[in-house]
Amino acid sequence: MTPDHYFGSSLGIEGPTELNATTMARVSWRRRSRGCLFTFHRAAASDVWANLPNRKFYLDLDFLDRFLTYLKQKQWAVVTIDEAIRRASLNKAGDRYVNFSVDDCYRDTFEAVVPVFRRHGVPLTLYVTTGIPDGTAALWYTGLEDVIATRERVKVGSQTIETQSILAKRKAFRQVSSAWDGPCADEHYAAFCRSNDVDPKAIRESHAISWDMLDTLRNDDLVEIGAHTMSHARISSLTRSAALAEIAGSGERLRRRLGVPVRHFAFPYGRRSDCGPRDFDFVREAGFASAATTRKGLIQTSSAPFVLPRNTLNGSHQNIAIMEAHLSGLSGLAAKWLHID
Ligand SMILES: [Zn+2]
């Protein structure tokens, strides 16, 4: 039996002579190898998630659980980045695989996210920003959210902002974080901590992943560890030497501290303006086997391993239909048409 007969009979069509061009195109699309990489940052239980000032940054753990169950039912294999690259090169007809990666890595990666993947028996990739366990990253974004979440009002500069209701908290976080975003964010946050009588070290430690946690995870067969710079710098904005130091330094730090191979790298922010051809070359020069971006779309056979597309999971999109738009490649096509990647 020829492949055409096989495809025809599976569609209830008698023979290849009756296959028109549209059907052939649809069949060929359905049989093509498809690889979809997902990324997210943090996760929280449903009741906590609903009250977070910046909830789109977090996945609802119940939704993650449902999505992993759905993928299994639909026969998508959940794989490591290593395996995704191998499958992309094989381009086997009908192959369907996804990878999930967590960027930055916070305490909830260890306490809440890895256990979900372990329960499902599928792997997860962690792209670690080494400044988080090293305590050198200020985590202003997280600190600001924590203070807004727990206080009824906050002082920002000469202003006092009411943060009693969840809507007021969301609005305050949105306004203050966008006003601070940029090279002076850490200074704004330090001043904010002083005027609100906040201990930034205690807040940071309550959210950061630690080296002890990573020590536990390095022995987990389902955890693949990759690098995500030392300070979460926007690589395209750095000089050659600073960019190489961030890229190579984070890989070295992880290899030395954890004693595991660290073969893959992910660019912070990861959009077209955050990393370009010069930066892809730096990652190759630093000895990594791949670099992941946040350009939407599917992995293609022709995908260069140093420009891997990844689909960012927005915590507010708790809908399998939206996940299907990523899995089918539609969200990637839309992003390209609209020039928003
Ligand atoms: Zn990141």
Cα(167) to ligand 1 centroid in Å equals 26
Cα(102) to ligand 1 centroid in Å equals 8
Residue 113 is part of which domain span?
36-136+209-338
Which pLDDT score, from 0 to 100, does residue 333 have?
Answer: 79
pLDDT tens-digit readout, 90-103: 988 889 999 999 99
In-domain check, residue 313: yes
Domain identity same for 42 and 130: yes
In-domain check, residue 50: yes
Cα(271) to ligand 1 centroid in Å equals 11
Domain identity same for 230 and 298: yes
Domain identity same for 124 and 91: yes
Torsion angle, alpha carbons of 90, 92, 97, 99, to 10 = 10
In-domain check, residue 82: yes
Decide if pLDDT at 20 tops 70: no
Domain identity same for 225 and 167: no
Decide if pLDDT at 85 tops 70: yes
Number of domains in the chain: 2
How far lies 142's CA from each of 41, 197, 206, 218, in Å?
Answer: 11, 16, 10, 25
pLDDT tens-digit readout, 47-56: 999 899 999 9
In-domain check, residue 16: no
Give the Cβ contact number of residue 327 at 10 Å: 22
Cα(93) to ligand 1 centroid in Å equals 33
In-domain check, residue 17: no
Please, which residues have CB less than 5 A from ligand 1, an ion?
103-104, 268
Domain boundary among 202, 230, 252: 202
Residues 268 and 232 sit within 8 Å (Cβ to Cβ):
yes
Domain identity same for 48 and 124: yes
Domain identity same for 164 and 98: no
Domain boundary among 202, 235, 250: 202
In-domain check, residue 59: yes
Cα(147) to ligand 1 centroid in Å equals 21
